[in-house]
Amino acid sequence: MKGYSLRLLFPCVALLLIIILTFPYPTDAATIDSLEKRAAQDDVIAQLELARAYLSEETGNANQKQALYWYSKAAITGNSDAQYELGLLFENWYPTPSLDQAEIWYKLAAENNQPDAEAAYTHILEIQFNHQRAKQISSIQQLDKTFNETPTSQATVSSPTSQQPTVVRTDILAVSAIVFFAVLIFTGRRFIHKRNDTQSTELQGRITGQNQQLDQLKKKYRIQQKQISKMYSQLKQTQQQDQTHKLAVACALLGYTTDNLPDNKTLKLRYKKLCRIYHPDTEGSDEEMKRLNEAIKLISSYKKP
């Protein structure tokens, strides 16, 4: 009996394994396709998830440019997470990060209250400041090194028979060299300070340009918000007009107007009278009875208590 039970169990287990192994699981490619369809229909959440999927190595579809495209689509709608993650993408862009773009999107995300954007924006400003300071320090050190490297010459001992004019000429040359290097160092330091002022002006100009870009993005965002609000108002108005028209038709069918809706009792009496006219068993039809029921249902939602 035990052997017979085992013989029955084996085919069942084999069949179950076949079903499990052949069951179609969703692939990463199928996930990408599904997200792209939703994202193409302006689904912001799908756009954000699709951008993340294109950055994930697990999907086997890593693509910086595609991720940039879908992050940008979602970020323009005002999604703060998309703006923050777009900043991360620019900061870590391969092979060359774009810190200026990262700064713009971090700042915009911070203004939209993204919780991590403020720290990221501060961090990117520190990086830019440190880069600029390192360049300035390197320039100063290189110039100082150049000034301090004077040609060395092997000292020679004057013989007792050296002539006096030669000694005087050597002293004059030494003093002239000292004066020359002093003037050169002073001029060089003035040049460095002037160049630092120029670089500071250029940096300020760059910051002003970035602020202008942010203002343009904000303006575009506000315009889109106004357009959406206008479209929503128009849609709502159209729906209200359609509903009002349906109510007017229903009232006309029962012999009322929208300004003079009956109470519950009066409506029931009118319905019974009209049923005698519209009912298929009398002189009416199914279509007329259907219209009557729909009119009663619609007026009931507006009727007086």
Per domain, the residue ranges of the chain are 32-113, 249-303
What is the value of pTM for the model shown? 0.41
Q: Quote the pLDDT of residue 27.
A: 43
pLDDT band at 126 (very low <50, low <70, confident <90, very high): very high
Q: Is the pLDDT of residue 72 over 70?
A: yes
Contacting residues for 116 by C-beta, under 8 A, at least 6 apart: 84
Neighbours of 120 (CB within 10 A): 21
Tell me, rounded to whole angstroms, the distance of Cα 85 from its chain centroid: 6
Residue 68: partners with Cβ closer than 8 Å, 6 or more residues away: 51, 86, 89
**pLDDT exceeds cutoff 50 at 158:** no
Taking the C-alpha atoms of residue 177 and residue 208, their distance in angstroms, rounded to an integer, is 46
Is it the case that residue 215 has pLDDT exceeding 50? yes
Q: What b-and-e string marks burial along 55-70, b requiring 16 or more CB atoms within 10 Å of the CB?
A: beeebebeeeebbbeb
Share of the chain above pLDDT 90, in %: 26
The architecture that CATH gives domain 32-113 is Alpha Horseshoe (1.25)
Model confidence at 32: pLDDT above 50: yes
Instruction: State residue 226's pLDDT score.
Output: 81
pLDDT digits (tens, 9 = 90+) for 161-212: 445 555 455 556 666 667 666 666 767 667 666 776 776 687 778 788 878 8
**Mean pLDDT of the region 68-80:** 95
pLDDT score of 251 more than 50: yes
